[in-house]
Chain A
Amino acid sequence: MSESTESGVEAADGAAQILDQRYRPYHGPRHGLAGAVRAVLVSSMRFTLGLGRPARHKFLPWLAVVVALVPAIVFVGIATVLDIDLISENILPEYHEYYGYIQAALFFYCGIVVPEILVADRRNGMLPLYLSTPLRLWSYLASKAAAVAVTLSVITMGPLLFLLVAYTVEGSGPAGIGEWLTVLVRILGSGIAIAATMTAASLAVSSLTDRRAFAVIGVVLLLLGSSLVTSSLVETAELDPRLYAFNLFEIGAALKDRIYGIGPPLAFVEDNGAPGRRLSELATWFVLCANAAWVLAGAAVVWWRYRRIEGTQ
């Protein structure tokens, strides 16, 4: 006597089991929409980081991660070797100041790595296949956006979490559990905020073309162009600092500063030559709204674009 199990046929006494029955009916649980979202999320994260892909696809995303992490590793090394409280002595940057070190990695990751995540599915025909599953358009796009945001958070939060833990172990960390938790929340909050803004903007540009090269150029132009143009207009031409709302890097940095409790007036506002000094003139609510607007506008562009693709209505 034998009885069917989910994965094979098992003898009544459990002594023998046929594990390989080849194609057979499946009567086990099905995870529905939640399972579909999870599968696409995990798959997209692996895809973005180049996992399970040829080596050439691993190079760029991990280079971005390394670029973000290396300064943190160097700072921790210096702190360990010199054995003094380098943060209090203003020798090493504070947590909020580390954002300047990850901007290059953010630029690199959003400009070159992120566009592939949407473009590839449209180019290789996976989109109609995905939409023939429990996924709907909104859940597909949400899975993709979440995958980008999570992997981007590795860059926006990873180095700072490493610094926090390393400084704490080394003895230069926040004093007391309350302050430690405050720093942790600020790292997580600012990391998520920056990742959300950058994700929305880069996905919006990527959704406009089926060509990866065009998407890369578009994202790079958006990041660099918005930064250069608004900085010139505000810093050089002395125009309204609210134009910084169009500067992805600076408006993200401004939100990060507010999360760290560094609102107007900023400490370096006295330094008239410092780029971005007039960010301090922006009200906190304006900074918050500007970042939210980037996220909403990015989501709207992606939704608008995908609603016009054949078979997604």
Chain B
Amino acid sequence: MRLEVRANPSAMATLLAGVGAVVFTLLVCALLILWANANVFAAYGAIFQGALGSQFAITETLTRATPLMLTGLAAAVAFRARLYNIGAEGQLYFGAMAAVAASVAMSNEAGELALPTFIAMPLMIAAGAVAGAALLLIPTLLKTRFKVDEVVTTLLLNFIALLFVSMLLDGPMKDPTAMGWPQSRALLPELEFAKLVERGRVHVGLLIAIALAIVLWIVIGFTRFGLSIRAVGANAKAAEFAGISVNATLIKVALLSGALAGLAGVGEVAGRTSYVTLDMSPGYGFSGIVIAMLAALNPLGVVFASVFVGGAIVGADAMSRAVNVPTYIADVIVATALIAVLVASLLTKYRVRWK
């Protein structure tokens, strides 16, 4: 078996590849559902109902999609410059922790907000973004200065970040009213994000994430900084030769990527949980990588990919209650879709010869 380059991949082939990837994913997961002794149509119906079948379902899906969108953007922008940020999980926790710390810092002795909300709110958001950015800056400087592989350092920093947060939750940031539960002090209610719909959990963070996706898409495609990111990612040597400072670009990208992951943490605290716990993210930072790959590193694609993944998770939850297939099917759907999309994009670029 060999791959031959296609001269000009047609738009039709690209579309067919996308449809093919979806059909392939549904077929593979159907086999697993059959194996679990459930009715395939009932299971898929339940997933769809659970994800998009009602207003409540849709708001739940979008609530899930919000942090995924931000970590997805964090991965997409970093990977565009070939800065492999595997540390979005830690950056998310840092962002969340910094938001709470900002809230504490901005409150007076009576535990009320000492500043007007319209000042305090941006400061809290900024604190989260800066914390995430700072955490990614360390491995990036190690990369630009000493050529230390950032895949290893960002990955391992996740554990350090989580342990550090855990220490804060047991120490200075411990919630005095939590009866010994490892959770942080609560965010001041004035700093919580407004909800978008009544009796739903979806919050303003979603709008922020979508707006950032659009801004990022414009930055990458239409600005000098975006061109530098793409040039550095595609060929750092040639970019350097053309007068683009590779190190400066990487550092800027790191600040941007870390800030986006930090914002995911801010969104979770301010929009959903109000306080930091060690189980507030079920691996959103890592799912962000999958989402970025599904979206072919396109920021607008990230919006749709994160809704897809969020929907799969929420839908699978509902489905497992209805037809008794484990919720792990959501992970399988996402993983299979990723592989199918990667293979499909390969097939639009190459032709397979079976000889």
Q: Are A and B physically bound partners?
A: no
Interface residues of B, Cβ cutoff 8 Å to A: none
